[in-house]
Structure 1
Amino acid sequence: MADPIEIFDRRLVRRRRDRAAGSQQRVEPILSEAADRLLDRLDDTTRRFDRALEIGGRGQIAPRLAARGVGQVVSADLSAALAREAGGMPIALDEEWLPFADGSFDLVVAFLSLHWVNDLPGALVQIRRAMSPDGLFLAMLPGLPTLQELRAATAEAEAELRDGLSPRVSPFPELRDGAGLLQRAGFAMPVADAEELPLLYRNPMSLFADLRAAGETNAVLARDRRMPPRGLFPLIAARLQQGQEAVPATLRLIVLTGWSPGEGQPQAARPGSASGRLADALGTIERGTGEKARH
């Protein structure tokens, strides 16, 4: 049996990312739009960055960082092939075992790769340790309800053809978990928000082809390894299409923003240290729990 913390087959993820190095141009418009939205967060700070690490950039992040004046960019990826094409100084690595010394980077950008990590809290701790004080961390990863339409159609089709279900679409985190993960990893001023990329496909086969081209097909360790029934994918496609001219595919991208602790950063006030009353600021009357308003 697999270790309980192991959700994904990391060797399979690497092979699929290797293959994606020759096919990801098919989804380049989606990757480009997502990268622009992520790096827009850099416009919200006047901090200048000299040493950046980008993880999983797929050729989208390193050139954009260079254009923003970042002097040195290291491009890391689980796939050596994708690392070579990323645009920075390439290094193949496992996101779960970072080989960098403490304080190596003042900016780390993880782009659509951390959702394949088994121990996400542990990976975030390692990233934070590799950052210098007051460094910025940005990450983008798909979150629920990404591909919910495909998830539902797959479950219905498999239930019809087989007794029981098997995981065929990767599990994704929820937005509400994002800031907590950053805080748990030791980041200061953690923020989690989301970007929506609504996609429409002419037919389900185009959606399947995009997922394969991007290296984003099923790599869950608990996946059903038997040959799927002959009618499974046609039935999934039929349930997705449902007579519509276009097939919707929800893509919700969670964006995590955090800072490595440093001197001079804003700190949360101690509980009970406020010098004024919230009721006074709001121009209302403070009442105890269960106390009814008087007319």
Structure 2
Amino acid sequence: MITPAPPKVFSDNRRTAARRRSRSLQRRPDAARYILDDMVEDVLERLAFLRLNPRRALIIGDWTGALAVQLRTTGCDVTVAEPADGFIEEQPFPENGFDLVASLGTLDTVNDLPGALIHIRNALAPEGLAIASFMGAGSLPQLRAAMLDADGERPAPRLHPMVDVRAGGQLLQRAGWSDPVVDSRSLDVRFRSLDSLVADLRAQALGNVLMRAGPALGRTALATARAAFGVRTVERFEILTLSGWRR
């Protein structure tokens, strides 16, 4: 029986372009990176709690390099992978036998998320740990509301669908992760305008990479969105973290 290919919700080309643009924007001294910084800190806290000192680790998506630096200080042999450089999460990984695989901020825009989670598990050594963090359901409610106001009666696809805690647990069971744990945490950030939020999203590769994205907002619609978003608005980012072992 041939398994049908997953639907193409996301554009591979747009995803790569967004991550490359983010890397370029990160050269600026004031570039936003708080989402990835939070994910890196969370991984380190989990490892410390578990008293796990991996000997080999695969780090996917951490363009700050911070997690790799921290792990290498403990003597860990770290391999770094980045989708913008051609690493494909929806295919079997070229290496395996890792004690730790950490995927940061990438899995929310893959078309075959169950497949990617299976490949992560297969890349682990026995008793290896996987941690995957990405944007989850409930993120960007203020932006979503502003876009609906701007589009009026004909809303366009501007923000992609996201995974919630319940769906995350089901995905881990399907992918064969042992002792799966799924949790979500909120990160609230205050913005002075809609434009400042959009700038932060672009700098962190969090923009729209849908295969069939909506048309650009016209001048009137953009003004409506800016007014709806307001000034000094607090926006919420929900970070979903999946973890599990290969037993």
TM over 0.5: yes
Q: What is the CA-CA distance between 1:33 and the residue it aligns to?
A: 2.8
* Residue among 36, 41, 46 paired with 2:46: 41
Which residues of structure 1 form unaligned runs of 5+?
81-91, 262-295
Distance 1:233 1:53 in 2: 41
* Residue aligning to 2:70: 64
The answer to whether the aligner puts 1:188 opposite 2:209 as a matched pair is: no
CA offsets, 1:233-283, max 9 Å, x none?
Answer: 221111010xx5x1111011011110011xxxxxxxxxxxxxxxxxxxxxx
* Residue aligning to 2:21: 19
Tell me if the contact between 2:133 and 2:239 (Cα under 8 Å) persists in the aligned partners: yes
Which residues of structure 2 form unaligned runs of 5+?
none
* Residue among 125, 134, 139 paired with 2:132: 139
Residue 185 of structure 1 aligns to which amino acid in structure 2? A
After TM superposition, the structure 1 stretch with the greater mean CA deviation from structure 2, 145-154 or 40-49, is 40-49
| Cα pair distance change 1:227/1:111, threshold 3 Å | closer
* Residue aligning to 2:99: 106
* Residue aligning to 1:258: 244
Distance 1:194 1:217 in 2: 20
* Residue aligning to 1:121: 114
Residue 24 of structure 2 aligns to which amino acid in structure 1? G
Q: What is the CA-CA distance between 1:188 and the residue it aligns to?
A: 0.5
| Cα pair distance change 1:129/1:4, threshold 3 Å | closer
Residue 176 of structure 2 aligns to which amino acid in structure 1? G
Q: What is the CA-CA distance between 1:222 and the residue it aligns to?
A: 2.1
Point out the structure with max Rg over C-alpha.
1
TM-score, length of structure 1 as denominator length: 0.76
RMSD: 1.7
Tell me if the contact between 1:175 and 1:194 (Cα under 8 Å) persists in the aligned partners: yes
Distance 1:174 1:168 in 2: 19
Q: What is the CA-CA distance between 1:37 and the residue it aligns to?
A: 2.0
Query: 1 or 2 for the larger relative contact order (CA 8 Å, sep ≥6)?
Result: 2
The answer to whether the aligner puts 1:217 opposite 2:223 as a matched pair is: no
SS of structure 2 residue aligned to 1:153: helix
Tell me if the contact between 1:51 and 1:70 (Cα under 8 Å) persists in the aligned partners: no
Question: How many pairs align?
Answer: 239
Paired-residue identity, %: 32
* Residue aligning to 1:10: 12
Q: What is the CA-CA distance between 1:70 and the residue it aligns to?
A: 4.6
Tell me if the contact between 2:58 and 2:98 (Cα under 8 Å) persists in the aligned partners: yes
Residue 96 of structure 1 aligns to which amino acid in structure 2? E
1:64-103 equivalences under 5 Å are 64-67=70-73, 69-80=74-85, 92-101=86-95, 103=96
Q: Flag as ranges the 4+ runs of structure 1 deviating above 6 A.
A: none
